[in-house]
Structure 1
Amino acid sequence: MNLDKIYQLILNWFNQLNIYELINLSLAACLLLMLIEISFWQYHLFGKLHYLQQSQTKLKTTNHNLQENQKLLDLFFAQSLDGIFLMMLDEPVQWDDTVDKEKVLDYVFNHQRIARVNQAMLDQYGASEKQLLGLTPGDFFAHDLVQGKQIWRRFFDAGRLRCETFERKLNNTPMWIEGDYLCLYNTEGKIIGHFGIQRDISERKKREVERKKAQQKIEHLNQKLAIEVQKQTTALNQTNQKLQEEIIKYQQAQQQLRYDALHDHLTGLPNRNLLIDRLEHLIERNQNHPQQKFAVLCLDVDRFKVINDSLGHLLGDQLLIALVNRLQQCQRRGDTIARIGGDEFVILLEELTCINDAIRVSQKIQQELTLPFKLENHEIFISVSIGITFNSELYTQPIYLLRNADLAMYSAKNRGKARYEIFSPAMHNIAMKKLALENQLKRVISKKELVVYYQPIVALKNNLLVGFEALVRWQTSEQKLISPQDFIPLAENIGIIIDIDLWVLREACLQLRFWQEQGLINNPLSVAVNLSTKQFSQPDFIENIDNILAETGLEGQYLKLEITENVLIENAELTREIFKQLQQREIQICLDDFGTGYSSLSYLQNFPINKIKIDRSFISQMDDNDSNPAIVRAMMMIANELNIEVIAEGIETLTQLEFLHLLGCHYVQGYWFSPPQNREKIELWLESFSQNNLQNCNNWLLPSQENKSNVVA
């Protein structure tokens, strides 16, 4: 019910009352109204009091929140990485069209002062808080007031501003500042100061300048390029037809590249990539049709390196091309000939009916190569070693077929070359043992498994001991003695021969010097040490020789170095220089295994060789072969004519000794005097057989088979 209805009800009720009732009612109403008014004000006052209590509670909450916000603001102010400051005016200023803005700016630049700064701001200007507080815009823009006032004008016009300004630190160091600034106003709308956040962007500006310079340079280059492009476009339009021709040539070149990727560039034969691809197809086909047989032949030219080095690489390439022509004459329809290395070829024989088909092809190749090759007035005879392996369901990868054919080929080489060998599992076992031996050999020096043996060398004219040859032996940790024939070639292949040679050289020099100091030898004896061909290609070879002689105290005149003819062939100029330096140190050079190599006798004239050593193969067969004594006699004549001394090795019989004595051979060594023995046994030999005993060597008995060493020098 609303107030209008209540009012109407009361009015109707009054109309129904008489005068006395009305008077009494009026008095009562006055009292009632007073009570109502008192109740109203009482209610109103209680409401106001409750409101005040709520307001006071809210005020406390607000004050608490303000205090917390102030703490957060202080924390932000202190921890911010950007510089934060507050500048306040001495007196508020009005900024609108009714004032002279220039005068206002003059006032601001002198009376607006820094009131608060954080540490980041101090770091930016390199100043303390005391130095910054109270500074005015005029202080910051003293270097350019015009620019400063322009910035402030825009700032006051907008009420806020983001800008980049050039300023200076207190030590006058220039810097660029990027900042966000906000005007602060009082309730009358007048400016009382401003708040700012700013950061040092000097490095960024520096990069921008550098980028701008680079951009200008690029634009300049682009202009030049545009001019050049215009010229080239004109030229290209004129040569459009030629371009089409070039595209055709390019497509042809791509085809050629694809061809080259699968073929040998010298012979035009398939290369390893294409061979493996065909082998993969054959292996896959064989798994589905095991009755279809095929074989892989691996061929390697015997002594090709000697031919290549002697006649030159150009003639060597011509020889390989001529060889391919011969192989193609032996090729059956459907077979593949591939070149997979320098002088290594593979023939893939398909559709075989039996093993003999592959053997017949191998025999035909050997027969074709019995005829000489005639190249540029040279008549060249060559042979090949062939390894054969046949397909099997065990072969799942081409690499295994090629590996086994390669093993069979090396077996053919080891058995004398110019022949074929069929792969057998035993060959793989031998290869694995060889690999194991190589792994052991790499640690042979560190494990101290090498031993030096010494074999006496005797002068025939007076039967006096003149020295020893130092021969290395490998005695494994199981006390197994491994022949140099087995481990020296491996050491050559894996590169450890350099270290082995130097170890033997140091041990031999040290031992000879020890014998000299102990008085076990009276005459000035020498020691001969064999060196690998690879030693002479080492840049520090002479330095190593000098170091060893210095370490051991042995004089160079007591050292002789034995080399093979390959040293003279591979790098004649370098070797000649090394020989010259060795001569300066009185170290003599002995040419070992003379007569077994392929070098020219002219090397004896062109190099300062002191001695040659006739290989044991010529000495051992003198009793049974009529031609060998004649060969030895010829070698002696050549050496005498060139004033070179001769050593004969492998003397085992009195007949050999007497024959060499008649020929005038200078020195001999062999089992007739002593087998190679270790240091302890040689020392006993020196004590048992003095120099006088050697004069009666004709009465010595031949050594028994049991005393002969199973190793060869």
Structure 2
Amino acid sequence: MSPNNLFPIIQPKMLETLETNIQLNLLERAINASTNGIIITDAQQEDDPIIYVNEAFENMTGYAFNEVAGHNCRFLHGHHCQQEDLSKIRQALQEGKECCAVLKNYRKDGSEFWNELYIAPVHNAQNQITHHIGVQTDVTHRKQAENILQESETQFRQTFECAPIGMALVRIEGRFLDVNPALCEMLGYTKTELMRRTLLEMSHPDDFAEGKFLYRRCLQGEIQTFQLEKRYLTKDGSTIYALTRATLIRDENQIPLHYVVQILDLSCALSQHPVPETTLATKQVTPAKALPNYFHYDGLTGLPTRILFEEYLEEALWHQPQQGAVFFLDLDRFQIINESFGHGAGDQLLIAISDRLEELLQKDDFMARSGGDEFAIFVKDVNTLSQARQIAKTLQEKLTSPFTINTSEGKITTSDHFITTTIGLTLTSGHYSQEKGRNLLQNAEIALGRAKKKGKATVEVFDQTLGEKVWRQSRLETDLKKAISRQELYVQYQPIMNLVTGRLDGFEALVRWQHPELGFVSPGEFIPIAEETGLVIPIGYWVLDQACQQLQEWQQRFPECQDLTISVNLSGLQIKDPGLVQKVKGILEKTGLVGNQLKLELTETALIENVDLASQQLQQLKRLKIQLSIDDFGTGYSSLSYLQQFPVDVLKIDRSFVSAMTPDNHNLKIVQAVISLAHALDLEVIGEGVETGYQKDQLKSLGCEYGQGYYYAKPLGAVQATQVVQEDVGQ
């Protein structure tokens, strides 16, 4: 990672500890490397003139330093700059306070940009304000996105309430967040009654399995949307057939938030379009199959829907098993068209894409729009994998040529290779020919999910290995729920050493899983599953309880080690848990530990997910005297501005920097800079990933307080860790 990502903000607390001339010497390289615009003004001169700007400021505004030196920052303002915010800034500066605002500013060429501005005073040893330092971030894209999001939310709310079909927002665990009037009418409940229930309670028991499978695949990131026919139970006990479409919504960090579920009452549609009695009497037909053709055809493109595609595959392969391939296509960056030019333009593009794909199809091939920006294609007589890959390549190349569509702003033409396509495919030869059409399409979807993880415009083939991986993930998710009660999880302890004294300072507690059938499961494999499913919360508290009990046992056995600490990782989901502080307090009281003997480690990403909530939770933990560490520093946002908002005690430099330190590379300089900045913020530093004596010595010479890594010991079982404690206290 470059210094650009490490030092986007310079904190006033740091500047308060250094004389002005030393600040400019030490920090010039760091602030010049920052991606944020930085201004320093002379507060002791009239009108607070600019005395320094970094390169990012020049790039952001178009002004060179010699053009702005000696001037006040007012030249960035214009007629539309918010006067109320400017007044607040002036008042804060007069009172010697920090301030923050988002202003509409103007570049040298007259173009507008939104500037997120943070200003802080710099004090000298006599506590006089000598300078102001301003940090600027161009948030134009964020403001535009916020405006688009606000409009989109308003449109969605209007559509949600007035939709003629049932709609619901459903929590990950299945409880309703909101339901619309049409769904209440369909199921016979009032909104209050329905909000007390779960989607599972409303479903027919025989339809549980398939629904749970598809919802789980959404959570695992294999698909975003699915559609299926299922039954629901109404308040009066009757059953309705419905076409259900569910889409998983994730936040900007890809954390699952909720599902948007649309439910079309097929029973109602069937009553409006009755099927002749002779048909129903002579053939078993589900309500969906008895509906008019428009339930099997997409209203926008005229292509078959997913339901008809699955039925076609099942019938075709049942009556005449044959070799072929199923391709599942997802359009990359299609959402940009919708967001930039509206859904009307997106609809035109989908029609144009479907037309272009149809030009490639032979008479016996079959294509459907699966939903959203996804298409499914079955091609007959595909005998080899190389042949299937060549077809996928042809499909991708066909869609990279520009498209011309009409918008409210006139005709636009997409650039060459703007629309790319990610494809998952599966062959129907061999044992696949006997599979149901739905399973074939699911296999292609699984392959698509793997392809999307690799990047845009990729192709992935479903094979036994991929199928086994999906099976393994599903198995691990199911078994992880029982792993604690079955005592399959255990805790290992890695020593953290004081680099100055060479003595043991404490341990980091690390969870491990020994599966009774699958053997050792790597934390890199089961922790993401725990995060996705929410199981990381009970597992996290279990680890905390085990670690605190172990420290209590060491203190009782070795009275000399009362200063020993235990470090435990805290997940982002635990930070969101309203019961976090009480649970931690309860564990401390149960084990008799005092707060300063416990260190809780959090990643930068976990803190940034919800800054306000995280700050509130950490402040309460600090009242218990608990020490707080930022783990893996340098791999996440690495913004020192956030450290001001959180009561952090320790920075842990990520192992990727420490383990790669050599005398002539940038990692050594980065580690040195982080240690210097951390000390200026009154933070202690732990270097992770110490593997050699050279790295240990370098960290010590740079003033790093603690080291952790294989140079000292790998994570140890409780018995081995106890031996380390015993040796340290000299017994």
TM-score w.r.t. the length of structure 2 is 0.49
| Structure with greater contact order relative to length (CA < 8 Å, sep ≥ 6) | 2
Structure number with greater Rg is 1
Higher helix residue share:
1
TM-score (norm 1): 0.50
Of Structure 1 and Structure 2, the greater strand share is in 2
